Amino acid sequence: MQIAPRYTVREASWEQEGARLRAIRLDVFVSEQGVPEALEWDCLDPTCRHVVAESATGEAIGTGRLLGDGRIGRMAVVRSWRRTGVGSALLAQLIAMARERGDRLIALHAQSYVVDFYRRAGFEAIGPQFMEAGIAHVEMRMPAN
C-alpha cells in the first residue's frame, strides 16, 4: 500500500500563483512578526524564483524565494504546519535550484532564532548579528557546489 505524502514542494510561478504566496507572507511576516508591508513587498519578487509547499488538499502552506544572485529569502511556513519538515523541504528545493543553475555560493539573512534550522541544511553563520525590519538577523552562507 502506498502512503500519500502529507505535503509536496515545487517551484511556483509568481505571475500565476503570486496571490497564494503573498497570502502566506502577509500572514507570517506582516501579521505575526510585525514586518511593515512596505518592507515585505520589495519589488524583487517578479525577478525571483519561488517555491510553494501544498498540503494534500491543495492548500498553500509554505513558501520561499531564490534571488538571481544566489540569496535565499522570505522563507515562511504557516504556523499550524511548523516543525513538520515543510521548511526544510522548501529550503532543499531552493538549494537544488541554485545548484542546478550553477550558483557557486548560496547566502541568506537568517532570523537569529532559526540559525539552527539553516545550520542543519549546511549553512554557516558569518559575522555579527544585525537588525533588519526590526528583527535580529545573522548572515549565513554555504558553497553551492
- What mask, x for binding ligand COA by CB under 6 A, covers residues 32 to 71? ----------------------------------------
Contact 108, 115 (CB under 8 A): no
Q: Are the C-beta atoms of 81 and 7 separated by less than 8 Å?
A: yes
Q: Which is nearer to ligand COA, 96 or 145 (CB)?
A: 96
> Which one of the spans 8-16, 43-51, 84-92, 126-134 is the region binding ligand COA (CB under 6 A)?
84-92
d(CA 53, CA 60): 6
Radius of gyration of the chain (CA): 15
> Closest residue to ligand COA, Cβ-based?
87
- Binding-site member from 88, 122, 125, 133 for ligand COA (CB under 6 A): 88
Q: Which of 28, 94, 95, 98 binds ligand COA (CB under 6 A)?
A: 28
- The cell numbers describing 119, all together, are 545550520
CA distances from 8 to 56, 72, 78 (A): 8, 19, 14
Residue whose CB is less far from ligand COA, 80 or 145: 80
